[in-house]
Amino acid sequence: MSDAGQETDQDGGTPQAPAGEVARGAGFAVAPGTAKRPGVLVAMPFDRALLARFKETFPTARWRRKLRRWFVPGTTAEQRADAWIAREISALDAYGDDKGRDAYAFEPLESPYLAAGDDALVVRTPYSRRVVETLRTIPFAAWAPEIRAWRVPWRSYEALKEVWPIIEEAAILSEPAARRARREAARDPAAEAERRRRRHPVPRGDPPPLGAAVEVAGAGVVVFEALDDAAIAEPEALAHYPAVTAPGPLVWGWWRIPTFGEVAETVPAAAPDAPGRGWWPATRTGLEERLRRLRETARAQETRARNETRPRQEARSDAPEAKAAGTESRGP
């Protein structure tokens, strides 16, 4: 597309902004591409010199006439486009960072989650999806993996200040102590005791196959090993299994956690066929979740075994030295 073609298109009216478009300031904006075509859509003020610099930086970019935006392909296109836009805006407003520093000095944000650096503000919080989503709306804010924190340039201080109450509130709620308090408040000792019994109600007339990996509500993918003959005589216990809505007599099925081999040999079902009966053929999602938990358990056991073995090894290695030291102290 020629320069003249873009100028004609941009003079023809303002198109509707693409979904997910975020303004970057000074007339720049970016919108994500699609899963089929990863990349980023870039809107910018028309200027021949600016366009020449854009084409030089992104030679594979293509003009989208209907959207009147440039499409930059690639999985890292958004980061590259944001970096280029940041440089261009910095050149447009050479005093933007100084203005941000002055605004911070006049009305600083005081928070344990915010630190003022020489070239940027540093935001470091416990992980929170809401914090991440909010920071992504701030122009030129970027995640810095080397310090495991977000950098917000001084020129974006006013934008940060506007959303800071949202960030700080989400960070406080994500603190480990706050998470533990919520878990403790949501605890149900009776339900936890019932889960530890490793039993589940199933219809007497439609029981799960024994020895095969199936899926149940709450416990995930399990293997039933035995079924009771008598109907459940504890109706109050069924209150812990609200997903079981099958009519007819119910019996207790006793289950265990499957092994890696049993999970690997199970052919996943497309979807739960009758979840109301209390069990269904294991789905791909359920099998993947069980594999993840099995790996976590295996890693925890390996770590515990290493921690238990290390003191014994150190004691054995120190024993000969102690014996030799005792012999020397006694003399000839």
**pLDDT tens string 19-32:** 888 888 767 889 98
Q: Mean pLDDT across the stretch 159-164?
A: 93
Question: Can you tell me the distance from the alpha carbon of 58 to that of 71, in angstroms, rounded to the nearest whole number?
Answer: 10
pLDDT score for 122: 94
HSE-up of residue 37 (Cα within 13 Å, Cβ side): 9
Which pLDDT band, with edges at 50, 70 and 90, does 14 fall under?
Answer: very low
Residue 90, burial from CB neighbour count under 10 angstroms (0-12, 13-18, 19+): middle
Q: What is the structure's pLDDT at 332?
A: 44
- Give the Cα separation of 57 and 51 in Å (integer): 10
- Residue 63 has a pLDDT of 92
**pLDDT by residue (tens digit) across 58-103?**
999 999 988 889 999 998 999 999 999 888 877 766 677 888 889 9
Q: What percent of the chain has pLDDT over 90?
A: 41
pLDDT at 327 over 70: no
Beta strand pairing status for 149-153 and 142-144?
A: antiparallel
- Side chain identity, residue 304: R
The pLDDT tens digits for 91-147 are 766 677 888 889 999 989 999 999 998 888 999 999 999 999 999 888 778 788 888
- Note the pLDDT of residue 323: 53
Mean pLDDT check: name the lowest of 114-123, 170-179, 254-263, 266-275. Answer: 266-275
CA angle 99, 103, 109 (to 5 degrees): 140
pTM, two decimal places: 0.44
Q: What is the rounded CA–CA span in Å between residue 152 and residue 133? A: 14
Give the integer Cα–Cα distance in Å for 193 and 101. 57
pLDDT average, residue stretch 301-306: 88
Can you tell me the mean pLDDT for 160-171?
94
> Which pLDDT value is given to residue 308?
83
Q: Using CA atoms, how far apart are residues 41 and 59, in angstroms rounded to an integer?
A: 14
| Predicted confidence (pLDDT) at residue 9 exceeds the cutoff of 50 | no
Give residue 7's pLDDT: 37
- Rounded Cα–Cα distance for residues 46 and 239 (Å): 65
Which residues are CB-neighbours of 246 under 8 A, at least 6 positions away? 203, 206, 274, 276, 277, 278
Residue 153 pLDDT > 90: no
Contacts of 99 (CB under 8 A, 6+ apart): 154, 155
pLDDT at residue 288, as a whole number: 93
Lowest mean pLDDT among 157-161, 180-184, 212-216, 327-331: 327-331
Please tell me the distance from the alpha carbon of residue 268 to that of residue 284, in angstroms, as a whole number.
Answer: 5
Range ranked top by mean pLDDT from 2-6, 88-92, 240-244, 321-325:
240-244
With pLDDT > 70 as the criterion, what percentage of the chain qualifies?
Answer: 87
User: What's the rounded mean pLDDT across residues 264-272?
Assistant: 89
Nearest to 140 by CA among 213, 81, 209: 81
DSSP 138: S
- pLDDT given at position 291: 93
- Yes or no: say if 194 and 200 are a contact pair by the CB < 8 Å rule: no
What is the residue-averaged pLDDT of the chain?
Answer: 83
Contact predicate 210/234, CB 8 Å: no
- By CB atoms closer than 10 A (0-12, 13-18, 19+), residue 173 is middle
At residue 279's C-alpha, the angle toward residues 277 and 283, to 5°, is: 130
Give the pLDDT confidence score for residue 171 in this predicted structure. Answer: 94
Q: Give the pLDDT score at 50.
A: 80
